[in-house]
Amino acid sequence: MNSDSISRNPTRPVRIGSITVGAGHPIALQSMCATKTADVDATVAQANALAQAGASVVRIAVDSPRESEALQEIRSQTTANLSVDLQENYRLALDVAPWVDKIRYNPGHLYHHERERPWQDKVRFLVDVAGEHDCAIRVGVNCGSVDPEKRERYEPADSVSPMLESALDHCEFLDSIGFTRYCVSLKDSDPAKVIEVNGRFAAARPEVPLHLGVTEAGMPPQGVQKTQAALHVLLTEGIGDTIRVSLTVPNDRKYEEIEAGRKILEDLAAGRAPDAAALNRAGLNIISCPSCSRVENEAFVDLAARVKQMTAYAADKPLTIAVMGCRVNGPGETDDADLGLWCGPNYVNLKRRGERLGAFSYDEILPRLKAELDALIELEGHSSTR
């Protein structure tokens, strides 16, 4: 059995280069290059390797004119279906659209650039560019970078509703201007919230194809287990048309995202259920973003592994540690964690429940993290005995 045999919701088709997602087409596997986009040779090699491993779409981040120029050369050397990941400067779409098959934008990032301009005008610009260059669009909503205006409308404990409202607003606007060649993703680092927000979206807009994933899932095997726990529930309900397993792994192991995704689909088709314990967050929860080209320092991947090893003694403690490698989702995810490490080029910013404690070198950070973790464990111990 394969993913073709999985019962699916009747979403509309969205073509992305040589493939189509939705409308009963096979569930597509995706991954993202972790190489620096300006390094053409390395990025081409990784894009081709991911495609060979089975990635139907390969995403590349572009955040500067230099990276836009590199993308043109990358396109000339790979036949992979390419998706470009835009950040704050949505206008870069004009430079990259001729060389890619899909444009991914995050509604939570649109307010950064030209703040006085309505987001609807910015989306219309993206649609015009996408239409001119035969590109699909992904509306990518992420828990670590939700539009502040959406957050303000809900209680702080409700992180799902702002994401859902943002996605629905953008879908409504895209439809109103006659652009329907889009899919949506709603990602959180908590598998239970991924299930909730995607289930609610699918109930409201069952015709829109969904890209599923658990963001900042972390390192294998826990990162795979978290993702499978969420995706198994959603896919079993017929929700989901394309998936990505976001893992914190070295560049030469990026293919493991595709292998993990394929295994999730194979297990689902064969009726093999995942370990339900992956949805139980009673113990220590380490979230870390997937290795990608936005990581400021590749030492981040090694640091995440060292954090996991060092904190093993606290595995049964109900705390969350976030190890983030870039400025995109780092601030939001580290604010929400009990202890957050936001890694820069030379220093690691340490936070305790949103409070910034300072910047430490990569050599200094582990002892300081352990001290803070021990203090929280002691604090929680005192609280539980009262």
| Token pair listed for 19 | 């493939």
Which amino acid would we find at residue 163?
M
Q: Is the pLDDT of residue 107 over 90?
A: yes
For domain 3-279, give the fold. TIM Barrel (3.20.20)
Q: How far apart are CA 311 and CA 9, in angstroms?
A: 41
CATH topology for 285-384 is Sulfite Reductase Hemoprotein; domain 1 (3.30.413)
Phi, psi of 128, rounded to the nearest 5 degrees: -60, -45
Q: Are 290 and 247 in contact (CB under 8 A)?
A: yes
The CA-based diameter of the chain, rounded to the nearest angstrom, is 65
Instruction: Encode pLDDT of 190-228 as tens digits.
Output: 999 999 999 999 999 999 999 999 998 999 999 999 999
Q: Which two tokens stand for residue 175?
A: 């439809």
* Paired tokens of 199: 């289930």
- Full-model pTM: 0.92
pLDDT score for 318: 92
Instruction: Give the HSE-up count for residue 286: Cα atoms under 13 Å, Cβ half-sphere.
Output: 26
Q: What is the pLDDT of residue 87?
A: 78
Q: DSSP labels for 191-233? A: HHHHHHHHHHHHHH-TTS-EEE--TTB-STTHHHHHHHHHHHH
Amino acid 353: pLDDT? 92
Q: Given the DSSP bridges, would you call strands 28-32 and 242-244 parallel, antiparallel or unpaired? A: parallel
Domain borders along the chain are 3-279, 285-384
* pLDDT at residue 297 in the model: 59
| Dist CA 209 CA 138 (whole Å) | 10
- Going across the sheet that includes 339-343, the strands are 285-288, 320-324, 339-343, 347-352, 355-361
* Alpha carbon distances (Å) from 142 to 73, 105, 135, 139, 385: 30, 11, 22, 10, 37
- How many degrees, rounded to 5, is the angle at CA 335 between CA 379 and CA 149? 135
AA identity, residue 72? Q
Whether pLDDT at 2 is above 60 = no
**3-state secondary structure (DSSP) of residue 1:** coil
The Cα–Cα gap between 246 and 288 comes to 9
pLDDT bucket at 124, cuts 50 / 70 / 90: very high
CA–CA separation, 43 vs 41, rounded Å? 6
Mean pLDDT of all residues in 144-172: 93
The pLDDT value recorded for residue 234 is 97
Beta bridge mates, 352: 339, 355
Please name every residue paired with 141 in a beta bridge, in sequence order, or none if there are none.
186
Is the per-residue pLDDT at 382 higher than 60?
A: no
